[in-house]
Amino acid sequence: MPIYILGIESSCDDTSASVIKDRVMLSNIIANQQVHEEYGGVVPELASRAHQQNIIPVIDKALKVAGIDKKQLNAVAFTLGPGLLGSLLVGTSFAKAFAMGLNIPIIVVNHLQAHVLAHFIESPDKENPPFPFLCLTVSGGHTQIVEVNAYDDMKILGQTIDDAAGEAFDKAAKMMDLPYPGGPIIDKYAKMGNPDAFEFAKPRIDDLNYSFSGLKTSLLYFLRDKLKEDENFIAENVYDICASYQKAIISTLMQKLYLAIEQTGIKHVAIAGGVSANSELRNEINKLQTIMQCKVYIPDFQFTTDNAAMVAIAGHFKYINNDFSDLSVKPYSRNLTM
Ligand code: KG4
Ligand code: ZN
């Protein structure tokens, strides 16, 4: 009998629902929230209201596109955390009520594990990474190097002690009056600029940890000083600024990843999360094949930023292990272990 899992993602500003049949994705509906654009970042209160508005139509569409009736579902998997509490509560409450109505189990999913497990959604032209592998999970909220030993066994080898890599992109965009989210536009502009035009302070952090707040401050002071000399500095140099700043982020990410490969001897390396859509990061990861004799795993674009298919596949593996939860589970905003 096939296993049908409904996945629900509502941890930040995307309301998403997906149906997975075994490991094959049947639907993956995502409602983005435009409401945050004018604020240059996610406004938590507005995010939960938008989730509340979007969740039923998104679930309805996910079932319709999948071509199944809700009675065929075996379980409802949803992101319990980490994320914005008000946003998580919308997905959690809906999932509990929906599962209760259908008399099927609920499965709780860790958002960061889901980003990693997106690599196991069946895809005709992609190989699944074998265990153990390293995964650089880089998103708007998180930056981690994870050792993945099994679907349910992940160890964080290093992580950011302050801002996430995606946040470094988003905050830089805001400083330059570029739209939110900043990653995609900085990526686009960087292609037209010189990455060696400007130098930004590189973080010096021990072990496999990261820090991006100093880099962000370095850009802030740089822009402040340059704007004093020339008020059109940003407009005249935006491509070079984007290219140089992006280079600083990506080389920082790569430096620790090289170290992690050396320290663990693990030669299978994946990337995940919103920032894994970045073209320079993708280029640099590909270089690991020749420089470090690694095999690399790069997700389809549709599985880089937040989506429910990754939640559904994470739910699939828990379903197989009979790893269900009861209705008393409550969302959590932060987690430092996996
Ligand atoms: O995984 P995600 O959708 O949400 C979180 O879990 O945080 O990641 C969103 C982040 C944002 O910070 C966005 O700017 C970044 O991913 N991002 C990118 C690119 N596309 C999205 N960063 C750099 N280059 C991109 N092409
Ligand atoms: Zn995410």
The three-class DSSP label of residue 294 is: coil
**Cβ–ligand 1 contact at 181 (below 6 Å):** yes
**Ligand 1 center to residue 279 CA distance, Å?**
12
Token duo for residue 86: 């008000």
The model's pLDDT over 199-214, given as tens digits with 9 standing for 90+, comes to 998 888 989 999 999 9
Task: Give Cα separations from 327 to 83, 93, 97, 301, 319 (angstroms).
Answer: 19, 9, 9, 34, 16
The more confidently predicted of residues 34 and 1 is 1
pLDDT of residue 32: 85
What is the rounded average pLDDT of the residues 10-14? 92
State the distance between the two ends of the chain, measured CA to CA, in whole angstroms. 31
- In angstroms, rounded to a whole number, what is the distance separating the alpha carbons of residues 132 and 267? 9
The three-class DSSP label of residue 293 is: coil
pLDDT at 99 over 60: yes
Amino acid at 73: L
pLDDT at 337 over 70: no
What is the rounded average pLDDT of the residues 127-135? 97
pLDDT of residue 336: 53
Nearest ligand 1 atom to alpha carbon 139:
8
pLDDT of residue 67: 98
pLDDT of residue 203: 83
pLDDT of residue 49: 93
pLDDT at 124 over 90: no
Dihedral, 158, 159, 161, 164 alpha carbons, nearest 10: 160
pLDDT at 334 over 90: no
pLDDT of residue 206: 86
The secondary structure of 226-266 as a DSSP string is HHHH-TTHHHHHHHHHHHHHHHHHHHHHHHHHHHHHHHH--
pLDDT of residue 250: 98
pLDDT at 239 over 60: yes
pLDDT of residue 42: 81
Closest C-alpha to ligand 1, atom 22: 183
Percentage above 70 pLDDT, the chain: 99
Closest C-alpha to ligand 1, atom 3: 305
Nearest ligand 1 atom to alpha carbon 14:
3
Nearest Cα residue to 11 out of 40, 47, 39 = 47
Q: Is 22 left (phi over 0), alpha (psi -120 to 50) or beta?
A: left
What is the rounded average pLDDT of the residues 140-146? 95
pLDDT of residue 6: 98
Ligand in closest contact with the CA of 33: 1
**Cβ–ligand 1 contact at 15 (below 6 Å):** no
pLDDT of residue 41: 78
**Cβ–ligand 1 contact at 41 (below 6 Å):** no
Token duo for residue 170: 């988003």
pLDDT at 82 over 90: yes
**Ligand 1 center to residue 75 CA distance, Å?**
29
Query: Is the separation of the CB atoms in 149 and 155 below 8 Å?
Result: yes
pLDDT of residue 202: 82
**Cβ–ligand 1 contact at 203 (below 6 Å):** no
What is the rounded average pLDDT of the residues 123-132? 92
In the structure, what pLDDT confidence band is assigned to residue 36 with cuts at 50, 70 and 90? Answer: confident
In the structure, what pLDDT confidence band is assigned to residue 86 with cuts at 50, 70 and 90? Answer: very high
pLDDT at 338 over 80: no
pLDDT at 159 over 80: yes
**Ligand 1 center to residue 167 CA distance, Å?**
8
Beta strand 14-21 pairing with 4-9: antiparallel
**Cβ–ligand 1 contact at 137 (below 6 Å):** no
**Cβ–ligand 1 contact at 139 (below 6 Å):** yes
Out of 42, 112, 139, give the residue to mutate to test ligand 1, the one with the largest number of ligand atoms within 8 Å of its CB: 139
- In angstroms, rounded to a whole number, what is the distance separating the alpha carbons of residues 118 and 268? 16
* Continuous segment of H or E residues that includes residue 283: helix 279-291
**Cβ–ligand 1 contact at 170 (below 6 Å):** yes
The model's pLDDT over 178-231, given as tens digits with 9 standing for 90+, comes to 998 999 999 999 999 999 999 998 888 989 999 999 999 999 999 999 999 999
Query: Is the separation of the CB atoms in 42 and 174 below 8 Å?
Result: no
